Amino acid sequence: MTPAVIGYMRFYDRDFDIIGKSKSEDTSCRTDSIPVHNLYSVSSFSKNFLSSVRSPAILAMLAALIVSGRVEMNCLAHNGKTGVRIIVCLLVLLVIVPVHGRAGAQQLSIREIRRIGPAYGGHGGMWADTDGDGLPDLYMTYNGSSGLVPDFYFHNNGNETFQDQTQVSGLDDTDGGSHGACWADLDNDGDYDLINATTYVVSSFSNTNDLFENLGNGQFVRIQGTPLDSRHEKTRAILAFDMDGDGDLDIFAVNGYRGSDSHENNEVYRNDGDFRFTQITSGALYGCPAGQGATDTDFDGDGDVDIIAANRTGKVNILKNDGHGNFTRVDPVSVGINHKAGDGITTADIDNDGDLDLLLVTAGSSELYRNNGGGHFSYLAHFNDKGYMGGFADLDNDGDLDLVFAGGSHVYLNNGHGGFYKGPAIPDANQSDPRSIAFADINNNGQEDFIRVSKGSENRIYAADNPSGNWLELDLISENGQIGAFGAKVYVYSIDQNGESDQLIGFREVNSNQGYLAENSPRLHFGLGTAGRVNVRVHFLSGTEVIRKQVEANYAYTIDGRNTQLIPGIMLLLSQN
């Protein structure tokens, strides 16, 4: 049996299942060994191992294994004496492990970049590169207490500054107030169009939801004469997703905010191409008691896009797609979910096992669930952070997703297994009535930034400075030219000694909305830890797969499903290690 070696400790991984494999070599000692003083930072595997051995039970188990010879300390204890072995092991576990646990929090820091938009009324934040310059631009929705309310479009200047181009871009959408919106390539022409969800009627301004076509240069024109013009609802979330697998993006709008206590039907529109839509007025998606936020996600991993929508006064809406756009409402209890989601639902792979875990939020009370496979969940943790949602991103680039709430005072760092501990503080975090959070690398430096939108105070953009690891960023284009390739899944793997895919470093799904009225940049960000090259597998919603091997870290690339080439994107700055 071949043992795996961690530091100067060798563990028989087949018999001790919290241990993974390390394939690096150090000829000064045993194969795969690493110096003890680097033990807590050399690899994502070391991090995963160390974060698992803090409990007394695990320490006792390791001591027993050392005594039995199942764990070797060959370079630390050449004489093989049991007492020396135990002492050294405990020193490593009790001294180095706490240092590791604090290292990410000490190194990573959160910096406020700027405050943006009016100081009252903010609800949603949506990122996308709307003019093809390689930088994510920002759309923000506003809803005040009364009167006419404009939304705002900010062009990214590339130097951590933004310019209000709402008027000159053609995106002036002044009305009675908006909640949701999303960028989406509705006509498959390679740029991001906009869907804006209008909530209230004021004076001569109606509350129909609006479509804006991107003309390709950051200029937009309102599309009129669609079925959306016939509905006058108090829309909250609005999503764009391919519900029937025909290669274009359909629309789902959540109408009302209470859910089970209200009587509004939702809006569902099938995309027939060229901005022509057919309204669907039956079925579970149309009639479910949804309110507030929603997300388009393949929660059960069966290859089609499902919908999970909030419900303030009843059970969370889990709408399972049969792959043809027919939805069935699933009882949450039947898949292991026993909590409500009154405001926001976020999905992400927090433990790098290739499926999507689940965060449910109701006005500052949040519940985290682990996906056990096939869309069946087990409860993990409760959080009390303020806000209507939480969002996931690898802020320290160590290869796992961290957690930030719309109104939280700290970042929660991931321990490598989907457990979270408090990391760096977020400056000036006391925002009034925080609503949403959305992530994007705003200056192309390989570090995730984020905006937090609040109804009662200024909205703030933050940077995550000094991440410790390498990174990779990917833009996707589907086989029919749709930028973003919504519904696609990307898997990034470490590489074994034969150049083949080894451990899953990260899994992402591209979607139009997360949590409560938030859209992360469709450019996917992966922290890679110490990996300098990785293998990438893209699974498009059509079933087509593209595999690229030996992809170099610290760059952005485009993977185009039309020619399956890996196209170098904007050459980004190397991360600082």
User: What SS3 string covers 59-89?
Assistant: HHHHHHHHHHCCEECCCCCCCCCHHHHHHHH
Q: Residue 367: is its pLDDT beyond 80?
A: yes
Mean pLDDT of the chain: 83
Per-residue pLDDT tens digits for 329-357: 999 999 999 999 999 999 999 999 999 99
Using the 8-state DSSP alphabet, how is residue 453 labeled? E
Q: Residue 6: is its pLDDT beyond 60?
A: no
User: Rounded to an integer, what distance in angstroms lies between the CA atom of residue 458 and that of residue 115?
Assistant: 6
Longest pairwise C-alpha distance within the chain: 87
Nearest of 126, 114, 112 to residue 424 by alpha carbon: 112
Asked if residues 389 and 514 have their Cβ atoms less than 8 Å apart, the reply is: yes
Mean pLDDT of 556-570: 81
Cross-strand pairs, 497:
none
Asked if residues 153 and 137 have their Cβ atoms less than 8 Å apart, the reply is: yes
Greater confidence (174 vs 538) lies with 538
Q: Residue 137: is its pLDDT beyond 90?
A: yes
Asked if residues 85 and 73 have their Cβ atoms less than 8 Å apart, the reply is: yes
Taking phi over 0 as left and psi of -120 to 50 as alpha, with beta for the rest, 238 belongs to: beta
Q: Residue 66: is its pLDDT beyond 90?
A: no
413 alpha-carbon distance from chain centroid: 14
**Token reading at 431:** 């925002």
Task: pLDDT band for 232, please (50, 70, 90 cuts).
Answer: confident
Residue with token string 């449910």 = 360
Nearest of 524, 450, 438, 447 to residue 489 by alpha carbon: 524
Nearest of 437, 442, 473, 572 to residue 155 by alpha carbon: 442
pLDDT (0 to 100) of residue 559:
96
Q: Is the dihedral of CA 168, 170, 171, 173 positive or negative?
A: positive
pLDDT (0 to 100) of residue 101:
38
For residue 378, what are the contacts with CB-CB under 8 A and spacing of at least 6?
Answer: 336, 369, 370, 372
Q: How many helices (H) and strands (E) does the chain have?
A: 6, 40
Asked if residues 16 and 66 have their Cβ atoms less than 8 Å apart, the reply is: no
With pLDDT > 70 as the criterion, what percentage of the chain qualifies?
Answer: 79
User: Rounded to an integer, what distance in angstroms lies between the CA atom of residue 299 and that of residue 358?
Assistant: 9
pLDDT (0 to 100) of residue 201:
73
Greater confidence (25 vs 379) lies with 379
User: Rounded to an integer, what distance in angstroms lies between the CA atom of residue 87 and that of residue 68?
Assistant: 15
Least confident of 16-20, 269-273, 283-287: 16-20
Asked if residues 453 and 125 have their Cβ atoms less than 8 Å apart, the reply is: yes
Nearest of 295, 297, 234, 243 to residue 266 by alpha carbon: 234
Per-residue pLDDT tens digits for 70-115: 333 333 333 344 444 444 444 444 443 333 333 444 489 999 999 9
pLDDT (0 to 100) of residue 46:
37
User: Rounded to an integer, what distance in angstroms lies between the CA atom of residue 246 and that of residue 325?
Assistant: 10
Share in percent of the chain as helix, strand, coil (round to 5):
10, 40, 50
Least confident of 29-43, 49-63, 269-283, 400-414: 29-43
- Main-chain phi, psi angles of 117, to 5 degrees: 80, 170
With 0-12 / 13-18 / 19 or more C-beta atoms within 10 angstroms meaning exposed / middle / buried, residue 55 is exposed
Task: pLDDT band for 408, please (50, 70, 90 cuts).
Answer: very high
pTM of the model: 0.82
pLDDT (0 to 100) of residue 84:
43
Asked if residues 70 and 12 have their Cβ atoms less than 8 Å apart, the reply is: yes
Q: Residue 196: is its pLDDT beyond 50?
A: yes
C-beta atoms surrounding 54 within 10 Å:
15
CA distances from 244 to 125, 216, 247 (A): 27, 27, 8
Q: Where are the alpha helices (DSSP H) in 75-162?
A: 82-91, 97-107
pLDDT (0 to 100) of residue 146:
66
Domains of the chain with bracketed CATH: 114-465 (2.130.10.130), 471-568 (2.60.40)
Element (DSSP H or E) covering residue 49: helix 44-50
Q: Residue 432: is its pLDDT beyond 50?
A: yes
Sheet holding 357-362, edge to edge: 344-348, 357-362, 365-371, 377-383
